Structure 1
Amino acid sequence: MSCPLIANADVMRVTRLDQCGNPIPGDDNGYVFDCFASLAMNNNSDDGEDIEYKAANGRVCGYKKGCPTFRGFDLELNVFSVSPELIEILTGNPVVLGYDGAPIGFDTCSVKCDTGFGLELWAEVLGEACAEGATGQWIYFLLPWVSNGLLGDLEIGSEAVTLQITGSTKTGGNWGVGPYDVMPTDATGTPGPLLTPLEANCHRRTFITTTPPPAPSCDYVPVPA
């Protein structure tokens, strides 16, 4: 059994989803970037109700700890890049186009609760020997359905500007095995999609992969059918 250590976050990819959580194929439905500071995945849970039976003399006759209910993850993504394409996929708000039809900005209008995106993160593994033929190892995180993307407070001054986008994960989407090759499918390391889909009640999958992350881009990237 390996004992991987996470060195640092490397690359992130977001994919546009429809209202049912399906990845939407097309040339303008994905974005790959590495200009981000952090991604926080905070547990959202309910502690449940404790049950206690206490006698008149103060003695506790019985006690049962409440069973927590896991609601999902509340995300906080801090990015440096003010990319119209990225903000558009994360928040669902429209881009502003220039005279040539290229995105040059974005509008901030409302919270698009009926849109969503899938999020993938590759983090470098420290101190692990790679399998033969592999070029590296990464910890791969998949959050197959994130909704309620919202651009946070923005302060522009003399210091570096970081944009924060918040959102929350959902279950019951249709990511399936995914539209991308993210893991080895045989002993020779042939890249392929997930070997098994996430169950309907799952919010995140994490595993080690030797399939390299995609190259960052400053433009939309295509989502295969």
Structure 2
Amino acid sequence: MSCPLIANADVMRITRVDRCGNPICGEDNGFVFDCFASLAMNINSDDGDDILYKAANGRTCGFKRGCPTFNGFDLELNVFSVSPELIEIVTGNPVVLGFDGQPIGFDTCSIQCNTGFALELWAEVLGEECADGAQGQWIYFLLPWVTNGLLGDLEIGSEAVTLQLTGATRAGGSWGVGPYDVMPLDAVGTPGPMLTPLDSACHRRTFITTVAPPEPGCDYVPVTCDSMSLAS
């Protein structure tokens, strides 16, 4: 058994998904970045109703604790980079294009509740020996369907500016094994997609991988779905 220690977060990737949680293929549907401060995944749950049976004389005859219901995660992502591509995928609001057709800004228009994105996070692992040929080890987090992306309050002054993006996970997505190579398929570390699809009732998957995260950049990255197996 492994006993990994999570160190600092390393790289994050977001992928545009449609109204049913399916990854959308194409040149402008992904973005990889590392200029972020933190990602909070806060549990959203309902405690349920306790049932108390109390006699007329004040004695408790029985008690049943309510069963909590897990609704998902409320996300808070704090980023430093004011990337039009990142803001556009997360919030669904349009980018502003320059004379050469490249994104130079973004509009803030409305909350697009019918759009969504998947979020992947790689965090470095401490205390584990790397397998032969591996470039390192990471804890990999996948949240396959996030909706209600919103850019938070913005204050610009003499200090460093941090943007806060919020959203909420949903179950019922169709990520399947995904469109990316994120885990080894054999003992020699051949990169490939997840070996088992993510169940449509799940909000998050976490595992250790020796497949290195993608390189961060400042442009959209393509999403290819030729061999992707989606959840049914």
TM-score of the aligned structures, taking structure 1 as reference length = 0.99
Partner of 1:190: 190
Partner of 1:105: 105
Q: Percent identity of the aligned residues?
A: 82
Partner of 1:56: 56
In the aligned structure 2, how far is the partner of 1:64 from the partner of 1:200? 30
Gaps of 5+ in 2: 226-232
User: 1:48-127 maps to which residues of 2 (within 5 A)?
Assistant: 48-127=48-127
Partner of 2:12: 12
Partner of 2:147: 147
| SS at 2:87 equivalent | helix
| SS at 1:200 equivalent | coil
Given residue 148 of structure 1, which amino acid in structure 2 is its aligned partner?
A: N
Q: 4+ residue runs of structure 1 moved beyond 2 angstroms?
A: none
Q: CA deviation at 1:122?
A: 0.1
Q: CA deviation at 1:35?
A: 0.1
**1:4-34 C-alpha deviation (Å, 9 max, x unpaired):** 0011100000000111111111110000000
TM-score of the aligned structures, taking structure 2 as reference length = 0.96
Q: CA deviation at 1:201?
A: 1.1
Q: In angstroms, what is the RMSD of aligned CA positions? A: 0.5
Q: CA deviation at 1:157?
A: 0.1
**1:88-137 C-alpha deviation (Å, 9 max, x unpaired):** 00100000000110100000000100000000000000121011111100
User: 1:129-208 maps to which residues of 2 (within 5 A)?
Assistant: 129-208=129-208
In the aligned structure 1, how far is the partner of 2:13 from the partner of 2:72? 20
Partner of 1:214: 214
In the aligned structure 2, how far is the partner of 1:70 from the partner of 1:19? 22
Q: CA deviation at 1:198?
A: 1.2
